[in-house]
Chain A
């Protein structure tokens, strides 16, 4: 396949960026999208141009490190992570625009790499169960009904990639946060801190500069793990209960 790529280049956080055009040829449909970028980077390196910076690590769709806006869609046209997207999803001759996640809370570091530290800080605000090592009772002491366990697991599948934020017109992180709140609220272990958690996480979310949720649903559409929008309802329900006291 031959492709034209328009790629966001930005030297650093305080620089202005622009879309640059590159051509790649002989791309195999079996390549992953990131392998296609590897090929481009090898070409740039050979020509003496600095390769394009982009994030990835596991390349298996689980670590959440990768994430690109591909022709306007977070993680591209398939419901998967950027690293699990393959070139067979594109047409020969296609023009593909590649940009970083765009959100005030995710500043660009360089080219396609952004800073998602805000997600860590939201978890620090309460996305955990306070149990010190060694203080745990036997694992069978508290049975968990299977439906609750399954829903908790579904929500816990979030990989923290940030596609939900990138896809949202308000750059809201409610899907990410709803997933964590739901994971812990479904489980008996999450109950003692349930109310305090949601309030403090939401405060942090707003402080980081993420926008509010207006039920657009683009987050869930873009989410590579299929986290459903109803986790946001769970969050809102917990938040209302907490604020009522």
Chain B
């Protein structure tokens, strides 16, 4: 590796570099045989011993819900936690588009290898080959499992399953249930989970939030949770802990994530020693409904499929931006994606569509209401499609999306073009895990969006659902047994000093948040953090901007611990207190994301680095310098947001099955 200049992050003393890290669990040999080999090598746990082994699972989304059901079926003693009032409400429920699987039911040349290849390429060559191959391998089993549970996927008239092509790939491998695929898959996992609750193998704790992980003698041995109804701080101990707590897109305040989505579970684990990998890798989705005003609490995604028939444009002239779009003549419109990318047009990948939308708005050519100094929206116009296909055809394809748009904006998209703008949607970054999905803390496993493993620097559409269920149904249950076979570990009591220490730290932090009684609401801090992240660590990043962001975040965090106002008490339901704890963690995560983004001086996957572009302004990756996973170790810090330099551990990425290529969409 050639390090020509000293990395800005190091130069500014923002981090230091430690020893490299590597996965030691994937067996040697050809890629196609690794998973079979690993399942064979991983120790088995005698069925009679399983009920003596306690496993805690945080999260009831596709990842956590499917893992809890499967481990319960296997006979382990499982406790599962979520902060909503029912496991069925996990954020996975909101996924619309579909789930990929290499079934090749359409005989269109799909295969495990092709799905593997597309996923690695889609991730812009920043994911680990072995994990992705396994994901593609187990994908077909997921569909079988879900159908057997009664998941009502879309079917053809002959009664067989229907597929569509999704996210710009050339085969039809996406299974779907209208626009509610996530809901239907999650209800399937939820029902399997409730069946185990009834069977007594799984105990479920709803309205409970995990606030700390208990690490004893170097192993994850439990969690500290707050019962959100009574406010009681509880300790739960086990032989292993699994985090399936989802993504942290809400660090941007506005995102398509649910209101409660948070980083607390993974960030607390990070503070206890679990490395955080590629935290700056964020996916920004191009087709969301734009912000309508300061009151906005979240953003709504509309399926990407709209770009198949809608044409994206903005006025050529700024003076036209507040006109009725229907009065803007054809020659005064700039169909900028069709202009810049004649071969892909409106179907360029998500990151390109998003960045170009931001560019035209930055030029002052955005449309819709002013938000701050700019109009943040571009048109997505169906007038041509309606003329070409007829209104009925458009309605049958996109009717539900048009209705949703009309409900939210009060405008009729059949008559006037929709307005769209990019929004944060998904995070590829997350806790570092090995091939067994185990973090750097022995006994702490991480699944679903909470880990970093499969999507590299960008995720293909319809593959997060696939990963969540692959991890939960098929991967984790087979790898965790290798660890559990070493147990049961020594029984711990609630009075063990390291257990007491974990619980006390949570109690003190809760107490502190309630005592500050400052001037500013939690939301106002969250909103300000979100603005900083979006401005400087969003679609386009630069050294100057990131350095500024780090300063701003540090100032904001300092103010938070001095001036936040959380009313009410700790011993009842207190939603401000819940939010405060989450925002406190976002304020720490945000800084690490900026440091990670700063150190990665390349444009790659979903993010564009201003200092790394081709002559015509396209993303330029630097495989010579950055072909690695950046795994960050917490550098130390106090409970009130003071943080020391984090330590960077690099995991070199080795491509044996796939050849590295630069992307080109021109």
Binding site for B on A (CB under 8 A): 11-12, 28-32, 34-36, 38-39, 42, 45-46, 48-51, 53, 55-60, 62-65, 80, 84, 86, 88, 109-110, 113, 115-117, 119-120, 123-125, 127-140, 142-146, 149, 152-153, 156-157, 159-160, 183-184, 187, 189-190
Contact = CB atoms under 8 A, between A and B. Distances in A.
Contacts of A183: 150, 152
A87 to B, nearest CB: 10
B366 interface: no
B148 A137 contact: yes
B510 to A, nearest CB: 16
Contacts, number: 213
A127 B194 CA distance: 8
B144 A139 contact: yes
A156 to B, nearest CB: 5
Nearest to B177: A153
Contacts of B182: 62
Contact of A34 (B258, B297, B575): B297
B206 A60 contact: no
B297 A35 contact: yes
Contacts of A45: 521, 565, 567, 576
Contact of B293 (A30, A51, A123, A149): A30
Contacts of B153: 149
A60 B573 contact: no
B65 to A, nearest CB: 12
Contacts of B407: 80, 84, 86
Interface string B199-233: 00000101000000000000000000000010000
B410 A184 contact: no
A138 B105 CA distance: 11
Given A51-B575, A57-B258, A140 B160 contact: yes
Chain B CB count within 10 A is highest, among A64, A131, A183, for A131
Contact of B143 (A55, A57, A135, A139): A139
Given A127-B191, A129-B148, A156-B187, 5 more contacts: A34-B297, A38-B523, A45-B567, A120-B88, A128-B149
Interface residues of B, number: 79
Interface stretch (B6-14, B89-97, B628-636): B89-97
B299 to A, nearest CB: 9
Nearest to A125: B198
Nearest to A84: B407
B296 interface: yes
Contact of A156 (B152, B157, B258): B152
Contacts of B292: 28, 30
B114 interface: no
Contact of B149 (A109, A116, A131): A131
Contacts of A60: 94, 298, 300
A117 B204 CA distance: 11
Contact of A124 (B178, B180, B198, B410): B198
Given A86-B407, A124-B195, A136-B144, A35 B178 contact: no
Interface of B: 66, 69-70, 73, 84-89, 91, 93-94, 103, 105, 141, 143-150, 152-161, 177-178, 180, 182-184, 187, 190-192, 194-195, 197-198, 204, 206, 229, 258-260, 292-293, 295-298, 300, 407-410, 473-474, 477, 521, 523-524, 565, 567-568, 572-576
B293 A128 contact: no
B189 to A, nearest CB: 10
Contacts of A117: 85-86, 206
5 contacts: A46-B521, A62-B180, A62-B183, A133-B145, A137-B144
B351 to A, nearest CB: 23
A116 B159 contact: no
A116 B574 CA distance: 18
B73 A139 contact: no
Contact of B93 (A62, A127, A144, A145): A62
Contact of B73 (A30, A132, A152, A157): A132
A139 B147 contact: yes
Contacts of A132: 70, 73
Given A28-B293, A51-B575, A63 B89 contact: yes
B91 A58 contact: yes
B523 A42 contact: yes
A128 B148 CA distance: 10
A147 B7 CA distance: 61
B295 A35 contact: yes
A27 to B, nearest CB: 9
B477 A133 contact: yes
A139 B150 contact: no
Contacts of B298: 59-60
A128 B192 contact: yes
Contacts of A140: 105, 160-161
Contact of B84 (A39, A46, A65, A139): A65
